[in-house]
Amino acid sequence: MISKLFWVVPVASVIALFFAWYFFRQIMKESEGTDVMKRIAKHVRNGAMAYIKQQYKIVALFFLVMTILFAVLAYGFHLQNGWVPFAFLTGGFFSGLAGFIGMRTATYASARTANAARKSLNQGLRVAFRSGAVMGLVVVGLGLLDISLWFIVLNAVYPAAENSHHLQIITTTMLTFGMGASAQALFARVGGGIYTKAADVGADLVGKIEAGIPEDDPRNPATIADNVGDNVGDVAGMGADLYESYCGSILATAALGAAAFIGDTEVQFKAVIAPMLIAAVGIVLSILGIYMVKTKEGATQKNLLNSLSRGINTSSILIVLGALGVLWLLDIQNWVGVWLAMVVGLLVGIVIGKSTEYFTSEEYSPTRKIAKSSDTGPATLIISGLGIGMISTFIPVISVVLGIIFAFLFASGGDLANSKMGLYGIGIAAVGMLSTLGITLATDAYGPVADNAGGNAEMSKLDPEVRKRTDALDSLGNTTAATGKGFAIGSAALTALALLASYIEELKVGIHRLFESTTSYIFPNGFEITDPFQLDNITMGDFMTYFQVHLMNPIVLVGVFIGSMMVFLFCGLTMNAVGRCAAKMVAEVRRQFREIAGIMEGTTEPEYAKCVAISTKGAQIEMILPSFLAIIVPILVGLIFGVPGAIGLLVGGLGTGFVMAVFMANTGGAWDNAKKYIESGNLGGKGSEAHKAAVIGDTIGDPFKDTSGPSLNILIKLMSMVTIVMAGVTVAFTII
Amino acid sequence: MEKYFYFSATPESLVASHLSPYKFGNYLAVGTKKRIKGQAIFFEIDPDKVNWLPWDYIDKKLLPYEDGEPKRSVFLSIYRVLENLPLNALLDLYLVTDDGKVLGLQKSDFKMQKEKIVHLYQQFIPNRTRVASRLSPPEFMKFLTDTSKPVSSPKLFFVELKLNKLAKDPEASLNNLPYTNPDHLRDCLIRLQHLPERPTKTVIRNFKEDLSFRTLKDGFFIGDQETFIFYPFPSSEELEDKYYSWWRSALVHSF
């Protein structure tokens, strides 16, 4: 019965990939429009491919080095499971593949969306949304396929039914593929984020501000790079990011499930496949939701918004019922409580989404207050934005706090001492949030496609009505994306917490492995075990005591400080990277305006490729240091300060990183929308003093919301993943 | 090569050129090497209606370059040009955005609003003063070109700017009006409201910036005591539909 149920997971992943292919074929049947539209789309596509090719070269080198390192640790020192190097590789590969397919689809879809928008708003939505759906379904399909394949392979090597430790080995080994996905995601997010903002800021600073030519004007040499940036940052970067979140939440929950029911293989198996099954049901419901997004010809923007909301809401409501069915069918211990934990996760996601909307939408007072502060200049606008951005962390943090408490209490049956079930509940809450990622990501990813379609329409000099329609689609995407962002941020916090708990399980596996070459293991507090099976009876609380993980141990505080500092160091490096790349872009655009005659008259085409090359090269160089630090610091902290330092690092990183991510995303979003509020005819409108101040705020906010902020979610989880993967080394070698 | 004659208001000058109005407007805004940018407002004039043009000078100076390139500009006058220009010589009016997009406006009849409201006028010639006034455009023209008064000029070129709700209620919100120092503007309008005997109130003595084309109300006015010529500015709907490229450029602001 249980074995049969598991096969739903790979089947669902294949269904997702089939529908992604089917939607892709539908998009490709559409016309790309006029020759000019085709030429512009080709420019963008080539630029995006050149970027991704360059990025994958560097990432491949990194993966090669890390795989060799893991192989040495596994086969040379026997400190890791021998599957780790391969799991790490596949995680990175599938994550990269998801980003690549999504980006490729988006670059094919933009001109087609613009062409479809020539007919009607609804036609434009259909093509753009199908493109977003390809991204959403490829992410969940490949994610679940990778999980299924590894589960099948490892289950064949370590039959779960034979020994309850086998499932623990399977799930903790699978977690390492999460590190591959996280590393790939970090490179994609940081590199893509630097690229897109350098191009955007560069194009705006010279094009809009100095040369006085509008956005997406073909006379601006950086305009193609700007459009390429939407694809590499907002599509490929976001796809890899959510692939990592999706897999991370399922894998961490599965590992916690294996740990919670050690000793009872049947119940343990159910707990392990429960998050996978919920995700599988979520795929089917996402496809159902995608099909519900349709309107009649001549639909207004409100009709379209209702249509999108109908798709998302239906999937979300049905997943609540679907998960209830899955948990009932599995009949896992306290299944109602576990289900309620998942419902708590969904509610937390919705609350964070609404809070994001409240603090960043021009419809509400916080953003209007920021806009009003522009009356007195850019300084007050920036102070006001920073202040409101900081205040905006209150609701998300309290929501997550309540979510953690209630998910824990529901899953543990109200028993605070039952931490294994409680933590499993927290993991399930994260899985619940991301279970309908297929459709929520579709609503997120179609925005950049609509944005690019607008750029294509503008550069191809299509009827202004087409641009109005693509703008309407883009704006629609921004509204629905707020909820998606809430789920992404909330799930990142809960997943990171689940990963923190999984770390303990990974430590146990690491100590188990040490017994292959030794007869005893002495914990830092002097407690000695002589049989690895003693570990089964050690509770999480005992483990903390044995490893001296308590606040009176200065090593823990050292880790907390380093973890908190990492967040700021990472943000600083990525923001400075945007500044440096943008400066190079500004210099190049100025040079072209100065040296190439006929650009301003539109008689000579600018050298777009040079701007694309500057952003590509700049992003590749600049992404190395922050990404390297995110990986090396957890390794060094583990080696120097041991388990207490590593846990402190993760706690510091999670606490600071989560709040900082919310702050940066909301501040940048609020500045952006404050500018839009003024541009829509308030406080003097375009060209007013208030507008000048708002443009400055928006430019500062760009790297906040599109580079550093979104990368923090990945930083938090990547540090956890690295710490988990290096757990075997940490328990074997520690300097202090 | 064909010869064109232009009366520029930014700054006041008379120019001869081989360039047609749209090319000339682009040249004025961004130059030949595109290292400059700046708004321009100019009229094309009918040379046959101007009896004082220095034809010898024009024939000598307005010659194509050796490589066949057209001569872009030969300045013919830079002082009291409007005063000396017969108004019937004025042809179309051209508005040029700072990145060189040109919009041509043609003369039309002016339909006066019956409603009594406060107006905001931006003068270009003879000076660039911005004035709030309870006078309608024809009344304002008469008022300032009445040479029997000490403060007057023989001819005047100005445009009316939007005041929206402020035209009736000086305390109303500014909303979409991007004027600098809005508190001062409001003070001027309130003062005008409280002093019924006063027809005008200076808002900005010398306006030094580029004009925000989106703040234009009905259009441009040029004339004297006898003649009142009106160049209507298209509605934003018409601009979006027919002159999108120019309008889009006009809405971009360089900071």
Mean pLDDT, contiguous 10-residue spans, chain A (736 residues): 80 97 95 91 88 87 91 87 89 91 92 92 89 94 94 88 82 86 89 87 75 75 86 84 90 90 86 95 95 78 82 91 93 92 91 89 92 92 96 96 96 90 93 90 86 86 83 74 71 86 86 86 90 84 91 95 96 92 88 80 82 87 90 94 95 95 93 89 88 90 88 90 89 82
Which of B19, B166, B174 should we substitute to test contact with A (largest number of A Cβ atoms within 10 Å)?
Answer: B174
Q: How far apart are CA A228 and CA A239, in angstroms?
A: 15
Helix or strand (DSSP H, E) at B8: strand B4-9
Question: CA–CA separation, A419 vs A413, rounded Å?
Answer: 10
Q: How confident is the model at residue B107, as a pLDDT? A: 95
Question: CA B142 to CA B223: how far, in whole Å?
Answer: 9
Give me the residue from A594, A601, A691 closest to B35, CB to CB. A594
Residues, chain A: 736
Tell me, what's the pLDDT at B254? 62
pLDDT tens by residue, A479-522: 666 666 677 778 888 888 888 888 888 888 889 888 888 889 99
Given B35, B98, B253, which is nearest A691 (Cβ)?
Answer: B253
Count of CB atoms within 10 A of residue A524's CB? 16
Tell if the CB–CB gap between B251 and A214 is shorter than 8 Å.
yes
pLDDT for position A479: 67
The ranges assigned to domains in chain A are 2-732
CB-based contact (8 Å) between B254 and chain A? yes
> Is A682 in contact with B100 (Cβ distance < 8 A)?
no
pLDDT given at position A395: 96
pLDDT the model gives residue B35: 59
Residue spans per domain, chain B: 4-105, 119-237
Q: How far apart are CA A463 and CA A443, in angstroms?
A: 26
Q: What was the pLDDT predicted at B61? A: 93
Query: Which value does ipTM take for this structure?
Result: 0.75
Query: Which stretches of chain B drop beneath a pLDDT of 50?
Result: none
Q: Tell me whether strands B4-9 and B40-45 are parallel, antiparallel or unpaired.
A: antiparallel
Residue-wise pLDDT for B72-101, tens only, equals: 999 999 999 999 999 999 999 999 998 788
Closest chain A C-alpha to B228 CA, distance in angstroms:
31
Q: What is the pLDDT of residue A733?
A: 82
Interface of B with A in 125-184 (CB under 8 A): 174-180, 182
Q: A residues 699-728 near B, CB within 8 Å?
A: none
CA B14 to CA B28: how far, in whole Å? Answer: 13
pTM score above 0.80: yes
Return the pLDDT at A209: 66
| B 11-30 near A (Cβ less than 8 A) | 26, 30
Range 100-119 of B in CB contact (< 8 A) with A: 100
**Are B22 and B102 contacting, i.e. CB atoms less than 8 angstroms apart?**
yes
Residues of B in contact with A207 (CB under 8 A): none
Which of A213, A685, A689 shows the shortest C-beta gap to B180? A689
pLDDT for res A469: 84
- Identify the pLDDT of residue B34: 59
| pLDDT confidence of residue A1 | 45
What's the start-to-end Cα distance of chain A, in Å? 50
* CA atoms in the 13 A half-sphere facing the CB of B111: 0
Is the Cβ–Cβ distance between A223 and A203 less than 8 Å? yes
> Measured between beta carbons, which residues in chain B are less than 8 angstroms from residue A682?
175-176
Strand partners, B229: B222
